[in-house]
Amino acid sequence: MAKYPKFLIEHFQNPKNLGEIPDADGVGTVGNATCGDIMQMFIKVNGEKITEASFKTFGCGAAIATSSILTERIKGATLDEALKISEETSMEVLSQLPKEKIPCFTLAKDALRLAIDEYRCKLEGFHEKGGFDSEEFEKD
């Protein structure tokens, strides 16, 4: 049985920011076909700062804990800072996870990146009403 650090157990047992942001500015959805984990990360942005972050995860304790940790740390950060925080948190958490659980954190990091990418695409007019607007893209 894998031994987890105390802070990971706390975030698994009492996850922070669990749930959907209905009017999210960006949503990133990822999955891991090997283990079956599915994760969604939701962000609300004001200017360049993340004002809210939440997640929905169907997966193991490590996936839930890492999603909780990441959403806590990125609130109040700019989009670029959040990506950097994601990398720094990744190094910190990965060094303490059992080898077989490393993909769990990679999901959280990837979901955040996709949520930020979606938000930025919306700003550029490439994303409307929850889907990619290929007609608008082809005009440019």
Provide the annotated active-site residues.
35, 104
Rounded to whole angstroms, the Cα distance separating 18 from 71 reads 9
Q: What does each C-alpha distance from 136 to 8, 25, 27, 120, 124 come to in angstroms?
A: 44, 19, 20, 15, 11
If residue 134 lies in a helix (H) or strand (E), which one and from where to where?
helix 134-139
**Closest C-alpha among 13, 35, 28, 18 to residue 83:** 28
